[in-house]
Amino acid sequence: MKTKQIWSFIVIVLLISLVLAIFIHFNTLITVLGIGRSTTETIPRVLTVGSTLTEILVSSVVAFFTFMINYYIIRPFDSSIQLNAKRIAIAILITIIAVTVLSDSFFAVKHLINHQPVFKKFNIIYTFRDLFTGIIVISGMSFIKAVYDKQSVKIENEILQNEILLGQYESLKNQISPHFMFNSLTALRELIDQNAADAKLYVSHLSLVLRYTLSSIESKSKCLYEELEVAESYMHLVKIRFGSSINVETNVDYTYKNHRLPPLAIQTLLENAIKHNEISKKNPFTIRIETGNDQVLSITNPIREKVTKEFSSGLGLSNLSKQYHYLGGKEITISNNNNEFRVDLPLLKPSFDEGLNS
């Protein structure tokens, strides 16, 4: 926890402790100040401003120390610690013991210093005072933790959302980068000279890929059939470059067609496979896209590392993993077995999107 946060917590706790102490001794305070009716008939002790302020000080110190003890139990600024029944029970037990021991100890010292006897008839009042202090401390710490946890979740979601947008921006940048556009326009020019019909088809696929990428920035999830459609268009563009050297085998159960996954998830994995592997006519490269019975979409490709490796920021898979975490705590599975690279993407149920946007 940052130093600034520590001091802010201490200041807040000090103020709460002082207000709590004033509230506990409010009746006595207004009596010694001559504001309220004197209760000396029922309280056989001499009331003075000094003794009253001392009692307020002692009560505030007791409350403050109890807050600090609970800090190490409840851990209000640690969002990884859950406030479950066991932790609350421990906090209540230790709070009752701490308040009782501290209160009795401080007031005993105060009575000894002032040479005042301790009246046993007021023990019940002290007990209620201690219980009230404990209730306020536990409630205060629980409230602080609830507020902090809520803020932490909000901040974490904002960070994840920014990272998702960054990932989508990277995909967009890859699509409209000068290198990509140059290759696309070069291929288009050659197709125009060779076959006007193929050129028109190429423009249609290029338009779909760019339009889908732009629209995905505003989307949290997409249907599987949409992802497969844009992946097919993307691979059409890639095939103009690699020809028959690259192939995609799709074996998808279309009962999953309306299931959801992050935008550009499939295209990201296709880009990743093409970027990091050697593709040639001598060794055709095949990427498999398939679904199993476990509501998972798998993208698999052989590992054929390039002699000259391209720079990789590692953002693609990292952002994809964070997107799933943001969408619902799902995890992607990455494996590297038998010279194959495989990524399993959980398919989210169609009803998931309704809850996401509610």
pLDDT, residue 258, reads 93
Q: How does pLDDT run across 15-56, given as a tens digit for each residue?
A: 888 888 888 777 777 777 776 554 444 444 456 777 778 778
Which residues are registered as beta bridge partners of 298? 290, 344
* The pLDDT value given to residue 337: 87
Domains with residue ranges and CATH for the chain: 3-154 (no CATH), 177-356 (3.30.565.10)
What local confidence, expressed as pLDDT, does residue 345 receive?
94
Ranges of residues in the chain whose predicted pLDDT is under 50? 1, 38-45, 119-122, 354-355, 357-358
Alpha carbons 25 and 32: distance in angstroms, whole number: 11
pLDDT, tens only, 103-128? 767 666 666 665 555 544 445 666 67
Contact between 332 and 343 under an 8 Å Cβ cutoff? The reply is yes
Q: What tens digit of pLDDT does each residue of 160-182 get?
A: 677 666 666 565 555 555 666 77
CA distance 129 to 185: 81
Q: In terms of pTM, does the model score above 0.75?
A: no
Positive or negative: CA dihedral 131, 133, 136, 138: negative
- On whether the CB atoms of residues 9 and 68 are closer than 8 A, the answer is no
Query: What residue spans of the chain are helical by DSSP H?
Result: 3-24, 26-32, 49-74, 85-114, 123-176, 178-194, 196-216, 224-242, 265-276, 315-328, 350-356
| pLDDT for 24 | 77
